[in-house]
């Protein structure tokens, strides 16, 4: 029972980070209809930037802020240089541009920071575990979860209560109508990429604090896809719930199925689950069901 509770708790905490990254993903998809497979590499860029500044001696929060600014700039640049020309192109072209971007980013990251695992040194969060009754969780997990939740609240209230957020929602809902009331769609696309880049950077930094940072953290970008599919592609609450579910599921699979299928169950469990889920509910839990007519 303790194992079960502990697995669920850890899963939820990691799931919070997935939710953060999934939020950025859904945002891009919702606003501009771009399916972004470069999300993993975007987390890597943000994470490595904050790591470099942290190792240089900048305080953790300040280096996180710097990485957020750099993510913001890079997001706008990426959108302007690569995605802006692709509006209205077939879905395959757009997806493959993001795949190309993911290789480009990955190559650059490897070139700049190498492939060895790097850790935040000295550790940002203390190693002392926190006890909730019988459940023992590392402090890193707790703080990551708290940080992810705070950011999720910030992002969600940004969409609900600010002018920018409202115009982004309007564009996502009906691009033509938004254009006709004076919302600049190009501005919204750029803002979506910038925010997604920032969210990815925070997610990557938090994950880097848990297990150290290397190129395989970019795999997270792929793990986000099952989460997004689960929640429905164009639903922000769906992304959050999907992220949490995938986090729990992955840890449960790791804890209970590993002895029956030794090896990488933990890595592929989300994908197996997603493949089965897609067969029964192709639009996710809260996705829009599109009815097609000829």
Partner 1 sequence: MSTTFLPCGVYHENYAQDHAWFQTNLIKGKMILLFVLLYLVVPWVADVYWISVMNQVGYTIMGALGVQLLIGYCGQLTLGHAAFIAVGAYTSTLLILEFPWPQFLLDVGLAYPISIFVAAIVAGIWSVLFGLPSARVKGFYLILTTMAAQFITVDFLITQYISQIGGRGQAFSLPAGTIKIGPWTIDSDVKVYYMILTFVVICIAGVANLVRSRVGRAWIAIRDNDISAEVMGINIVQYKLMAFFVAGFIGGIAGACWISNLAAISPEHFPWFWSLWLVGVILIGGVGSIHGTVFGALFMVVVMELLQMAVMPLSDAYPKLLMDFLFIKEAAFGLSICLFLLFEPNGLAYRWWQIKNYFNLWPFSY
Positions touching partner 1 (CB under 8 A) are 35, 82, 85-86, 89, 91-93, 95-97, 99-108, 110-111, 222, 225-226, 229, 233, 261-265, 267-268, 271-272, 274-275, 278-279, 282, 292-294
Neighbours of 161 (CB within 10 A): 9
What residue has token string 């793990």? Answer: 223
Measured at the CA of 41, the angle between CA 36 and CA 43, to 5 degrees, comes to: 95
- What residues contact 78, with CB distance under 8 A and at least 6 apart? 101, 193, 197
Minimum distance from residue 229 beta carbon to partner 1 (Å): 6
60 versus 277: smaller Cβ distance to partner 1: 277
What is the rounded distance in angstroms from the CA atom of residue 269 to the CA atom of residue 246?
9
Minimum distance from residue 266 beta carbon to partner 1 (Å): 11
- What residues contact 11, with CB distance under 8 A and at least 6 apart? 244, 247, 248, 249, 250, 251, 252
100 versus 123: smaller Cβ distance to partner 1: 100
In order of 104, 172, 176, the CA distances from 98 in angstroms are: 10, 20, 25
Minimum distance from residue 160 beta carbon to partner 1 (Å): 27
Minimum distance from residue 264 beta carbon to partner 1 (Å): 6
Specify which residues 118 forms β-bridges with.
213
4 versus 261: smaller Cβ distance to partner 1: 261
Minimum distance from residue 173 beta carbon to partner 1 (Å): 20
What is the rounded distance in angstroms from the CA atom of residue 40 to the CA atom of residue 174?
29
Minimum distance from residue 104 beta carbon to partner 1 (Å): 3
2 versus 110: smaller Cβ distance to partner 1: 110
8 versus 106: smaller Cβ distance to partner 1: 106
123 versus 282: smaller Cβ distance to partner 1: 282
């Amino acid at each position: 029972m303790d194992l079960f509770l502990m697995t669920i708790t850890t899963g939820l905490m990691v799931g919070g980070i997935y939710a953060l990254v999934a939020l950025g993903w859904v945002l891009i998809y919702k606003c501009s209809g771009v399916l972004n497979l470069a999300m993993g590499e975007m987390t890597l860029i943000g994470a490595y930037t904050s790591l470099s500044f942290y190792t240089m001696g900048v305080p953790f929060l300040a280096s996180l802020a710097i990485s957020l600014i750099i993510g913001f700039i890079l997001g706008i640049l990426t959108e302007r240089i690569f995605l802006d020309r692709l509006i209205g192109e077939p879905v395959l072209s757009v997806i493959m541009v993001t795949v190309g971007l993911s290789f480009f980013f990955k190559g650059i990251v490897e070139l700049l920071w190498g492939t060895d695992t790097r850790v935040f040194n000295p550790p940002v969060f203390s190693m002392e575990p926190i006890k909730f009754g019988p459940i023992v969780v590392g402090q890193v997990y707790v703080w990551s979860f708290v940080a992810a939740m705070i950011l999720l609240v910030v992002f969600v209230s940004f969409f609900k209560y600010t002018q920018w957020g409202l115009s982004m929602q309007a564009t996502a809902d009906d691009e033509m109508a938004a254009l006709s009331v004076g919302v600049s769609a190009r501005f919204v696309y750029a803002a979506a990429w910038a925010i997604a880049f920032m969210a990815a950077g925070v997610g990557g930094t938090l994950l880097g604090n848990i297990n150290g940072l290397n190129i395989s953290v970019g795999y997270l970008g792929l793990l986000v896809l099952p989460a997004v599919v689960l929640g429905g592609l164009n639903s922000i609450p769906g992304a959050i719930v999907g992220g949490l579910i995938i986090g729990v599921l992955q840890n449960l699979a790791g804890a209970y199925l590993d002895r029956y299928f030794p090896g990488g169950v933990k890595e592929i469990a989300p994908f197996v689950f997603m493949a089965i889920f897609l067969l029964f509910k192709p639009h996710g839990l809260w996705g829009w069901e599109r009815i097609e007519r000829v």
